[in-house]
Amino acid sequence: MRMSRLLLRTLREAPGDAEAASHQLLVRAGFIRRLSSGVYTFLPLGFKLVQNITAIVREEMDRAGAQEMLMPVLAPIELLQATGRDAIMDDILMHLTAKGGDFVLGPTHEEVVTTTIGGEVDSYRDLPLNVYQVQTKFRDEARPRFGMMRTREFIMKDAYSFDADAEAMNRSYKVMYDAYCKIFDRLGLTYTPVVADSGAIGGDVNHEFMVASAIGEDFFVQCADCGYAANIEAAIAGEAADAASTGGGDSEEMVVHDTPDTPTIDSLVELFRDRGRDITAAQTLKCITLKDADNNMILALVPGDREVLVGRVGNGAVAFDEADFAAHPELAKGYIGPADAQAKSFRVIADPLVRTGGPWITGANEQGRHATGVTLDRDFTVDEYVAVASVAEGDPCPNCSGTLAFEQAVEAGHTFQLGLTYSQKIDGAEFADEDGKLGQMYMGCYGIGISRMVAVIAELHHDDDGLAWPAAVAPYDVHLLGLGAGRSEEVRDATAKLYDQLTEAGIKVLYDDRDASPGVMFADADLLGMPKIVAIGRKSLEKGVVELKDRSTGDRSEVTPEELLASLS
């Protein structure tokens, strides 16, 4: 490709509203342009990148036995209603009313694929089956972020496996899991598969493929000793977690203190420190009021330095909202304690850490008052122990004697074992088994955000001068610069000749044939980030060589055109 004809405008300065390095560089290098918040155009160079990433994903999907197809973007709302996801995913669904009825723009395709495959598969002989597509998805994200990292319209590869039983589903899952590892290896990403929470997709076993990054929206924990890795939402700390202690011993009296304006743990800790008592958040007891799907009231207890993972409570539990507190004026919001909670119709659940810690500093159930020396089984009782506390850096590993470290990361892919979650709710997802009995298909689903990969790879592969694409995804293999070609016929001819030779050899070349100054050419080449930069100028011509620079390593060498051809083909 001759640069003089390429739709490309590089920017010397980053757009003022771009924060992440990948976002700034992708815009500066002319790969993407924003149309609206979280809605982007891929310009020619950016689209080549998308195509290259997609090609790798396709190869590995095909190799793993998955078959590519293409489902509609439009999904009838009735289909989502059948599984209840019209409500579950309500806040991200984009609706569209058309002559044929009400639709949503597909945010993911479990329902569509289940009904489609259900209609095609009637026998166990048709299974196992794995289908995939590469398609634009729509999610009305509350907050698009960091350029291509989180957008409202994005390209995704989603695959779905169908099996006759759980064991076969496990095998299909393993094949996909391995394929994902190959894909991320080939994309030049350093990743960690972690045990994850299944969220709105549902199902049991699932893994997120995490890429460590300072702009990641997720955190996972990892044990350096045994390799255990889990999203913090799914992570469970080992039993031997150190007990927090107020140092007062079991005999510490319960004392109520006036603690005005301390509705949060932080403000409480600060107040005690101001009063000369040096406490930490871990010595306080966090009491969170919840209600479940049957409107039962639950009080969840965790040490004050932890969060309550509401999803672990079960039965659709959610935190009290303002209306709930308004309906229960006897609860002193911000000063709730566990004392006599059962008398207020709470079921008290506590993380096991509550058993090993204490005495606690916690709410005294009166506005502006807290109690110290609050002791388990003397001042309050627990109905059930559930691991509802978030893990903390340094917690013991659940699998070995190591400790857990935190890592910030981007979710690059996610694989789920869905089981019968969808096939039970969608009509027709049945097949005749060997005995002629009807069974339901065990499903798995597997997603990779293709357009997000553009941002993730850019985050990992750039420096102060610009992007540095891995060879496997780079839009072009070689960026060829004709230094001063505008005034030197020799240089122009030599560069054009090399361009033709390289192109004939099957090498993808971006040829800078613009009448630009050498500085502009070098700067743009570094910004665009093709793996090899080859410069020809009067100086190198005199020596009969070309200058070769490896964009990633910065290594420079002088080689003859013949040597260059030989090394690249």
Partner RNA sequence: CGGGGCGUGGCGCAGGUUGGUAGCGCGCCUGCUUUGGGAGCAGGAGGUCGUGGGUUCAAAUCCCGCCGCCCCGACCA
539-568 positions binding RNA, by CB under 7 A: 539-541, 547, 549
Min. distance of Cβ 353 from RNA in angstroms? 21
Separation CA 90–CA 84 (nearest Å): 10
Nearest to 136 by CA among 49, 70, 76, 87: 70
- Choices 151-159, 256-264, 344-352, 377-385; region in contact with RNA by CB under 7 A: 151-159
Min. distance of Cβ 57 from RNA in angstroms? 12
The footprint of RNA on residues 152-211 (CB under 7 A) is 154, 156, 158, 198-201
The footprint of RNA on residues 213-242 (CB under 7 A) is 217-218
The footprint of RNA on residues 4-43 (CB under 7 A) is 9-20, 23, 28, 34, 36-38
Of 128 and 413, which CB lies nearer to RNA in the complex structure? 413
**Binding residue for RNA, selected from 59, 126, 141, 463, defined by CB under 7 A:** 141
Separation CA 317–CA 459 (nearest Å): 37
Nearest to 7 by CA among 49, 45, 55: 45
SS (HEC) of 39-68: EEEECHHHHHHHHHHHHHHHHHHHHCCCEE
**260 near RNA, judged by CB under 7 A:** no
The footprint of RNA on residues 430-489 (CB under 7 A) is 445, 447-449, 452, 465, 483-484, 486-487
Min. distance of Cβ 394 from RNA in angstroms? 21
Q: Are 207 and 195 in contact (CB under 8 A)?
A: yes
Min. distance of Cβ 437 from RNA in angstroms? 31
Alpha carbons within 13 angstroms on the beta-carbon side of residue 158 total 23
Alpha carbons within 13 angstroms on the beta-carbon side of residue 362 total 28
Nearest to 410 by CA among 166, 125, 218: 218
Of 93 and 127, which CB lies nearer to RNA in the complex structure? 93
Of 339 and 527, which CB lies nearer to RNA in the complex structure? 527
Non-local (6+) Cβ contacts of 519 within 8 A are none
Of 376 and 448, which CB lies nearer to RNA in the complex structure? 448
Placement of tokens 């009491």 in the chain: 287
Of 146 and 228, which CB lies nearer to RNA in the complex structure? 146
- Exposure string (b/e) for 346-382, b if CB count within 10 Å is 16 or more? bbbbbbbbbebbbbbbbbbbeeebbbbbbbbeebbeb
Separation CA 190–CA 377 (nearest Å): 48
Non-local (6+) Cβ contacts of 548 within 8 A are 532, 533, 534, 556, 557, 558, 559, 564
The footprint of RNA on residues 306-335 (CB under 7 A) is none
**293 near RNA, judged by CB under 7 A:** no
Min. distance of Cβ 106 from RNA in angstroms? 10
Of 157 and 370, which CB lies nearer to RNA in the complex structure? 157
**416 near RNA, judged by CB under 7 A:** yes
- Choices 149-157, 248-256, 271-279, 426-434; region in contact with RNA by CB under 7 A: 149-157
The footprint of RNA on residues 360-389 (CB under 7 A) is none
Of 50 and 156, which CB lies nearer to RNA in the complex structure? 156
212 membership: H or E segment, kind and range: strand 206-212
Helix, strand, or coil (residue 332): coil
| Total residues interacting with RNA, rule: CB under 7 A | 72
Distance of CA 93 to the CA centre of its chain: 19
Cis peptide bond prior to 359, omega within 30° of 0: yes
Of 359 and 475, which CB lies nearer to RNA in the complex structure? 475
- Choices 150-158, 297-305, 343-351, 392-400; region in contact with RNA by CB under 7 A: 150-158
Min. distance of Cβ 385 from RNA in angstroms? 23
Separation CA 508–CA 471 (nearest Å): 11
Backbone angles phi, psi at 10, to 5 degrees: -90, 150
Min. distance of Cβ 249 from RNA in angstroms? 35
The footprint of RNA on residues 501-540 (CB under 7 A) is 517-520, 522-527, 535-540
Of 138 and 360, which CB lies nearer to RNA in the complex structure? 138
Non-local (6+) Cβ contacts of 357 within 8 A are 243, 244, 245, 282, 283, 303
Min. distance of Cβ 47 from RNA in angstroms? 19
The footprint of RNA on residues 103-122 (CB under 7 A) is 107-108
Min. distance of Cβ 504 from RNA in angstroms? 24
Of 92 and 96, which CB lies nearer to RNA in the complex structure? 92
Of 142 and 166, which CB lies nearer to RNA in the complex structure? 142
The footprint of RNA on residues 49-108 (CB under 7 A) is 91-92, 107-108
Separation CA 517–CA 513 (nearest Å): 11
Nearest to 373 by CA among 284, 269, 304: 284
- Choices 64-72, 279-287, 332-340, 409-417; region in contact with RNA by CB under 7 A: 409-417
Token readout for 29 is 């290098």
Token readout for 566 is 């030989």
Min. distance of Cβ 536 from RNA in angstroms? 7
Of 182 and 538, which CB lies nearer to RNA in the complex structure? 538
